[in-house]
Amino acid sequence: MAGRSSNAGEFESFLRSRLAQHGLGDGRKVARFHHAIDILVGKKQIYFQQPQMFFFPELPQIQFYDREAFPWLDKVEAATADIRAELVEVMREDSAFKPYVEHNPARPRKEQAALTGNPDWSAFYLLKFSEILTENAARCPRTMRVMADVPLGGVKNRSPSVLFSLLRPGARIPPHSGLDNTRLICHLPLLVPPGCGFRVGNDTRVPVEGKAWVFDDTIEHEAWNRSDRPRVILLFETWRPELTDEERALVAAMFNAIDEYSGEKLPWSV
């Protein structure tokens, strides 16, 4: 656009002044339009879902979801103190946490190469790829009771996973995207020192202890901990609300068929 190339600041000021005459404020009802204007004037870039393994078409491109679509979040947040207390007990045993990025030569992940086998980003799983880790789950009974009321994903060998995700002091998770856009990721921050942040696409947020959010991890995202203390969240998966029960069943059946054809459990991660 000529206005942008000749004088971007002047064009943006003119555009916003004209739009203000239409009574457009900063409310949530026009948040998508404001996002579009930011892209138009070059303040933001366009991010799309880029799942590494499976793409389900015609799903909305949403970075962070409005919490109204997930009424069960209130109950999860209300249990923050109980969940954190179990986490603290687990953290007394440093060896309980294992590196989140496991080495797998069949599935190279260049963007996370520095974190392969690196305890800077570690996990303590309660459920892992649809299987309960009995000993770990037994250490966190209150957390497990809360998760029983959450509509977790349901795909054999893949989902759900429920884990404490630990980012050590000074660590950073580089930009990356997830595997499958039929599910969403929920974070419940439990221990958040100053200097922590999280970005999904154009939206950068500061995690707040006890305040959960749901996001699409197939959109590029990253996290960092610039403090001198560990940052820990409870991470779990849920189905995308746009999928019907029939579509969810078909997705699960598809992955079961893939495993049956290959004759093995294929590499997967949250």
Tell me, yes or no, whether 183 lies in a domain: yes
Q: How far apart are the first and last CA of the chain?
A: 41
Residue 79's CB: how many other CB atoms inside 10 A? Answer: 19
Query: For the chain, what is the mean pLDDT?
Result: 90
- Whether the Cβ atoms of residue 117 and residue 201 lie closer than 8 Å to each other: no
Rg (CA), the chain: 20
| Residue-wise pLDDT tens digits, 230-255 | 999 999 999 999 999 999 999 999 99
pLDDT of res. 213: 98
Count the domains in the chain: 2
Q: What percent of the chain is predicted at pLDDT more than 70?
A: 90
3-class SS of residue 192: coil
| Residue-wise pLDDT tens digits, 120-131 | 999 999 999 999
Tell me, yes or no, whether 62 lies in a domain: no
Q: What percent of the chain is predicted at pLDDT more than 90?
A: 73
Q: Tell me: do 110 and 34 sit in the same domain.
A: no
Q: Tell me: do 30 and 123 sit in the same domain.
A: no
Q: Tell me: do 241 and 202 sit in the same domain.
A: yes
Tell me, yes or no, whether 110 lies in a domain: yes
- Print the domain residue range for 30: 2-40
Least confident range from 34-48, 56-70, 92-106: namely: 92-106
Give the angle subtended at the CA of 25 by the CAs of 23 and 30, to the nearest 5°: 100
Tell me, yes or no, whether 49 lies in a domain: no
Q: Tell me: do 88 and 20 sit in the same domain.
A: no
Tell me, yes or no, whether 56 lies in a domain: no
d(CA 225, CA 129): 26
Look at strands 231-239 and 172-176 and give their pairing.
unpaired
